[in-house]
Amino acid sequence: MNGSTRPKIPRRVLDGVLLLDKPLGLSSNDALIRAKKIYLAKKAGHTGTLDPLATGLLPLCFGEATKFSQDLLEADKTYEATMRLGVRTTTGDAEGEAVQTRDVSCDEAAIRDAMAHFLGEIAQVPPMYSALKRDGKPLYEYARAGQTVEREARNVTIHALDLIACALPDVTFRVTCSKGTYVRTLAEDIGEKLGCGAHLVGLRRTGVGALTLEHAVTLDTLAEATQDTRDSWLQPVDALLSTFPAVHLDADATRRFAQGQRLKLSEIADAPAEADRVRVYALDGDRLLGVARAGEGVLAPERLVVSAA
């Protein structure tokens, strides 16, 4: 063996969720790679991308938690965003070139009225600069080639939309929205409603489902910390599942559930009266067994935690 060959650094088996405060200018995948390297983790994944120009909450899943990352992809998101009125750009954000400039003559009351128009379920046309695919190719590839293709409007839901600050031409707002919502498209549409156009100049994600920035940590802080401190920042696997009702099983039911068997809801003391998906625990120390679907009198295992077996 070549004497200059470096020995492989052993990777650790870790299970948990890291609430990362992603920095500006870094892609979600690059942030994941750095965190995985810092933790020397064997298996990791993220729960939905943040653009490089966006900062904020990026939950990272390690080990068994990766089985439940899809649940956060489906979750509502909360952002704080700043749009600049009067200028439209090619990308809908500050990364693009200005394509139209108009005077800004609205006041705060008009901005609030315009924003109210976008509450609830709305139809939104995805931007050309997005990763959505057409004929197997991402839309942004067409856009970079100077091509525009037709995109069907998609229904998304704006649960809350609040004005935070107004220092024209910049307007900062907070939005809680369903999956698939493009905040820069929302900013553009508000700008058009005001008759002056707009583009996004700042975006920070503050919430994903029930998770918030409150316990998030930066990559720099992670890199400087000791291993024990880093591990203490890992949330348990079920942090991703806090909105699901909890079900607890006795020893016999735990054994059968861990083997993938369906159970009668009538045999489970705390079975929910009405629920779709539930998180399932063993009575001995509230050990997470996995996720199941509850319905028609049956608890059917959906995804199991390996250690549960």
Which residues belong to the active site? Answer: 51
d(CA 153, CA 126): 7
Burial 181-218 (b: 16+ CB within 10 A, else e): bbbbbbbbbbbebbebbbbbbbbbbbbbbebebeebbe
- Give the containing element (helix H, strand E) for 28: helix 28-39
* Residue 137: partners with Cβ closer than 8 Å, 6 or more residues away: none
Q: Is 122 left (phi over 0), alpha (psi -120 to 50) or beta?
A: beta
Structure tokens at 214: 């409150």
The pairing of beta strand 246-249 with beta strand 211-212: unpaired
Choose among 240, 18, 199: nearest CA to 104: 199
